[in-house]
Amino acid sequence: MSLVLTLVAQRDATTLDAATIALACEVMEATENATLLSPEEAVDIPCPATATERLPALRAALEGRAIDAVLTHQASRRKRLLVSDMDSTIVANETLDDLATHAGIGEKIAAITTRSMNGEMDFATALRERVALLKGFPASLLEKAWKDVTLNEGAKTLVQTMRTHGTHTALVSGGFTFFTSRVAGLCGFDEDHANTLLVDDAQGILTGETGHPVLGPETKLALLDRLAAKHGIPTAETLAIGDGANDLPMLKKAGLGLAFHAKPVVRKAIAAQINQTSLRTALFAQGYPATAFSGT
């Protein structure tokens, strides 16, 4: 099957020049001309089927430069279903950690988050432990944490461009609906799914518990499968994006699973990676030129 190498430069740090493109063609043994996707930012380079084994060598050759190299199959490049993680993917934050910071227990909860996202701890157990530490704190801290939330570069552009071209989009998180519903609205996702953080409305405090069942890695995978079946979309035409260990099942199953500035355990398991650039790269990797972007 024919492959396409997409090279993308981080616009604030460098430019994609002719010498870099030539280097990539040499390493990947590509003989066809590159297609410009965005001047000095992104190109597509058709590659032979053997290019997969040369990708590590190309990444080594590009080390130290703010350039990503994503290899995809030519067939079914433009995906019809997007399922994306939220924390550290669509937003720059870990929202539960931010909530804990406002409660004055940020370091304690962040340490558990790190272990969970690195795959060192069962997700459901980690979530229960972290939420239990919030018991008795005022629910008003949720609004304070929301004010800290920042969308990652390209988040709106990714979602709105794919929706413009007929893609169904879903935001899914092991975090909480309080945040996903708002982030989904900002970006334009068709739907959002997350855990429910329980609140004692009479006292205005967090109960230290979540609703059941807990949305974890297998739930994310099940959502990808369910939405693909519901909308009649082959697995090959699905895109999943995430950064943590709890995203691995859906990343492995999707037609294109993109590890976005991911934890080491994820980068080790997922070949398609965005390590240097923004969420715009998820569009370039599907062959979209910058002129087709929406929501910029």
Weakest-pLDDT range from 81-85, 106-110, 161-165, 264-268: 106-110
Assess whether 85 and 71 both reside in one domain: no
Assess whether 16 and 148 both reside in one domain: no
Q: Which amino acid is at 192?
A: D
Assess whether 13 and 87 both reside in one domain: no
Assess whether 68 and 82 both reside in one domain: no
Q: For 168-191, how does the pLDDT look when each residue is reduced to its tens digit (9 = 90+)? A: 999 999 999 999 999 999 999 999
Binned at pLDDT 50, 70 and 90, residue 121 comes out as confident
Mean pLDDT of the 75-81 span: 95
Q: What pLDDT was estimated at residue 119?
A: 85
Assess whether 174 and 295 both reside in one domain: yes
Q: What pLDDT was estimated at residue 52?
A: 93
Nearest to 231 by CA among 278, 292, 190, 193: 190
Assess whether 131 and 249 both reside in one domain: yes
pLDDT at 17 over 80: yes
| CATH value at residue 60 | 3.30.70.600
Note the maximum CA span of the chain.
69
Q: What pLDDT was estimated at residue 36?
A: 97
Q: What pLDDT was estimated at residue 150?
A: 98
85 among known catalytic residues: yes
Binned at pLDDT 50, 70 and 90, residue 63 comes out as very high
> pLDDT above 90 covers what percent of the chain?
90
Q: What pLDDT was estimated at residue 212?
A: 87
pLDDT at 97 over 80: yes
Assess whether 278 and 185 both reside in one domain: yes
CB-based contact 71:77 (threshold 8 Å): no
pLDDT at 8 over 80: yes
Assess whether 61 and 113 both reside in one domain: no
Mean pLDDT of the 21-42 span: 95
Assess whether 88 and 215 both reside in one domain: yes
Assess whether 236 and 293 both reside in one domain: yes
Domain around 170: 78-296
Q: For 240-269, how does the pLDDT look when each residue is reduced to its tens digit (9 = 90+)? A: 999 999 999 999 999 999 999 999 999 999
- Domain stop point among 75, 99, 133: 75
Assess whether 8 and 128 both reside in one domain: no
Collapse the DSSP code of 165 into the 3-class scheme (helix H, G, I; strand E, B; otherwise coil) and give the result. coil
| CATH value at residue 276 | 3.40.50.1000
- Domain stop point among 58, 75, 92: 75
- Domain stop point among 19, 43, 75: 75
Give the strands of the sheet with 42-47, arranged side by side.
35-38, 42-47, 3-9, 67-73
**Phi, psi angles (nearest 5°) of residue 285:** -65, -15
12 among known catalytic residues: no
Mean pLDDT of the 72-86 span: 96
Q: What pLDDT was estimated at residue 241?
A: 98
Mean pLDDT of the 56-71 span: 96
Assess whether 164 and 286 both reside in one domain: yes
Q: Name the active-site residue from 44, 68, 87, 243.
A: 87
CB-based contact 277:290 (threshold 8 Å): no
How high does pLDDT run on average in the chain? Answer: 95
Q: Name the active-site residue from 44, 68, 85, 97.
A: 85
Alpha carbons within 13 angstroms on the beta-carbon side of residue 275 total: 19
